Structures are given as C-alpha cells and as structure tokens.
Structure 1
Amino acid sequence: MTTQTLENLKPEAAKNGIGLGLISLVLGVISAYLLVNASSMMAIFLIPILVGLLIPLGVAIYFCIDLRKKIGGFWNLRQATSGIFIMFLIAYVISTAGNLVFTKFIEPDMATSIQSTVIDATSEMMQKQGMEQEAIDKKIEEMNADFEKKAHGTVMQNIQGHVIGIIIVFVFALLFGAIFKKERPLAVFEE
C-alpha cells in the first residue's frame, strides 16, 4: 500500500464511521417505535434482531468493503483493523450520543413505553401457556425490578458499560479486519 493511500485511511474511515453511525441511530429510533407498537412476543423478539442487528451488520459490511476500495483495494490485517476500528468507534459514539439525546429530550417516555409493551406481551404469552396468575405476577415483578435497575444505573456503571462497549467495538473491528483484509499479491520477477 502506498503512503498516499495509507494517509487516506483515517479520514475515509472517519467519513464511513459518520455514515454508519447515522444509519445505526436512525435504525435504533425506528426499532424503538416498532417495539412500542409491537403486539406479540414474536415481534418483540424479531424487531431487535432484524432492525438492530442484521440490517446494521449488512450496512457495516458494505462500509468495510467501501473503505477498502477507497484506499486502493488492498490492506493488511493491521491496516484493516485500525481503519475499521476508527469507523466502528465513530459510529458507536454517534449512535450512543444520538440515542442519549433521543431518550432524554425527544422521547423521554420511550423506555417506559417499551417496558410496558414487553411486560404486556410477556404476560399475555404466559396466560396463553396456561401459567398460574401467581407465577405471572412474580415474573412481572422481576421484570419491573430489572428495568428499574437498568434505568437508574450509577455513573460508574455507565462508564463501565461504555468501556465494555469500546472493547466490543475493537473485537468486532479485529474480526472484520481479519475477514476483509486483502494483501497485495507479491510480484514475481523473472530472470
């Protein structure tokens, strides 16, 4: 890889990271609204997998391939991992900050609405399975306690969550780097 294309890696990774972050943010908002309006446990299970995992995964793959093309089509594992890490880290920051703004200022009751939808669907599913009302009430109490615990995390728990998030971002960047690396073929010289 030439020095010129290597110098373009970080700015191009940052541009792709901004795009990936904005797309992830929009998909997160769409997922939240779909979850609030979900009426079955199957929908509550499938929405986060489809909108929160599979579509962003496809978009991330596209942006990784696009990044490799932008810098000349070849990169080793270290270059691939560093470029993809920059891209994923910027996407993580944009998505996290955007979700924070969304849940604090635009839709502050969204978490409560999602919690209510999940509890109602779980209760309905348990009733259809013929479970006793005591068991259903106990499960709902446990779910409410879990939601309450997550909603009122300490500053240290939030910091720890973001550190773990960045470590996960790096692991995914390493994995994607290994998948999308493409070494320049060695030139064969004839004598």
Structure 2
Amino acid sequence: MEEQVQTPFQAAIKPGFTMGLVALAVTYIAYFIDSSLMASGWFALVALVIFFALAIYFGIQYRTELGGFMSFGTAFNFSFIAIVISGLVSLVGQILLFQVIDPSLPQVLAEVTFENSLKMMESFGQNPDSMPTEALDKLKQQSESSFTLGGQIKNFGFGLIGYAIIALILAAILKKRDKSLDY
C-alpha cells in the first residue's frame, strides 16, 4: 500500500502551531525579563531569526517527506499557511497578554515605542522639539493604538501582506527541482 503524502495545508498545520508557540514563548520570556524588551529592535531581530530558522527547518522536513523535491508553488503554499497559523496563535497569545494578564502593558509599550521613535528621529538629525505638537500627538496616538485589541487585529491583517512576502522568500529557498526530469 502506497503512503499518502500530505497536502501543503495539512503539512503546515503542526509546524504553524509550533512556530506560533515558540513565538509566544519568546514574547512571554521577554515580558517576564523586562517588558520594555518587547518594543526593542533587537527583540524583533532575534524573533525574526528564530522564525526564519524554524520555517526553513520545517520546510526542509516537508520537502524530504515529498521525496527531496518541491515546486515553488508547493513551497509557497506550505510556508504561507504555516506562517498564517503561527501568526494566529501568536495573536491570540498576545491578546491574552495585553488584555487579560497585564492590561497596563499596552500603555508601557506605547510609551517605549514613542520614545524609541523620538530617539530615531534625533539620530537622523530631526529635532523632536522643533516638530509641531500635533505631529507629536499623532505619533503618540499611533503608538498607543497599535497595542489595543483593534490595533492588534488590524496589524495582523496588514501583516498578511508581510507574511506573503516572507513566504515568497522561503519558497525560493525551499524549492528544489528534480533535474533528472529535464530530459
């Protein structure tokens, strides 16, 4: 009896949940160490490296399951579905953190994000004191709104575009053509 190979959707479910849980673990560890880490660029970079490493690892596992070869389309479908599932798991965990576990955290992160934005402006030669107060108020409001429940859901929606781009990159890395079929 021949073994049935999973579709990209079926194969992406378990890796997606695993990547989402790892992302949540990293988020919660950063929260317990120092919640301001969650608004840091270094935290985002470390999380992205871990995310890419896991996605490539699971993609190579699936390619091996398929016999060592995978088309670009299959690799894209697998990657995108795994990333979306991971994003949903992470979104639920972050909503739980921001709305239930520590409802004051969004305000703390908004302030840190606002301060980081001002520091970045200064590093590019812009003096925040010379900016109109309306512009500073708008920047602060945007920082605060991104950590609300609606902001988190909206960010996930816009994140789908980023997920598609990441899945395209991963598909380019993971695809492998059977050159023996070229003849």
Q: 1:78 offset after TM fit, Å?
A: 1.2
Q: How does 1:109-188 map to 2 (within 5 A)?
A: 109-117=104-112, 144-151=140-147, 160-187=154-181
Q: Taking structure 1 as reference, are residues 109 and 152 closer, same or farther at Cα in structure 2, changes over 3 Å only?
A: closer
Task: Tell whether the 8 Å contact from 1:9 to 1:83 is kept in structure 2 after alignment.
Answer: yes
Cα deviations by residue, 1:87-138 (Å, 9 ceiling, x for unpaired):
1111111111111122111122222233344567788999xxxxx99669x6
The equivalent residue for 1:104 is 99
Q: 1:184 offset after TM fit, Å?
A: 2.0
| Residue 60 (structure 2) pairs with residue 61 (structure 1) | no
Q: Taking structure 1 as reference, are residues 147 and 183 closer, same or farther at Cα in structure 2, changes over 3 Å only?
A: same
Q: 1:57 offset after TM fit, Å?
A: 2.0
Structure 2 alignment gaps of length 5 or more: 122-126
- Tell me the TM-score normalised to structure 2 length: 0.72
RMSD (Å) for aligned C-alpha atoms: 3.8
Q: Taking structure 1 as reference, are residues 149 and 69 closer, same or farther at Cα in structure 2, changes over 3 Å only?
A: same
The equivalent residue for 2:73 is 78
Q: Taking structure 1 as reference, are residues 160 and 109 closer, same or farther at Cα in structure 2, changes over 3 Å only?
A: closer
The equivalent residue for 2:21 is 22
Q: Which amino acid aligns with 1:183?
A: R
Structure-1 separation of matches of 2:20 and 2:50? 13
Task: Tell whether the 8 Å contact from 1:89 to 1:166 is kept in structure 2 after alignment.
Answer: yes
Structure-1 separation of matches of 2:81 and 2:48? 20
| Residue 36 (structure 2) pairs with residue 4 (structure 1) | no
Q: How does 1:33-52 map to 2 (within 5 A)?
A: 33-36=32-35, 44-50=40-46, 52=47
Count of equivalent residues: 177
The structure with the largest alpha-carbon Rg is 1
Structure-1 separation of matches of 2:128 and 2:79? 50
Cα deviations by residue, 1:112-171 (Å, 9 ceiling, x for unpaired):
233344567788999xxxxx99669x6975653333343458x5x766543322232222
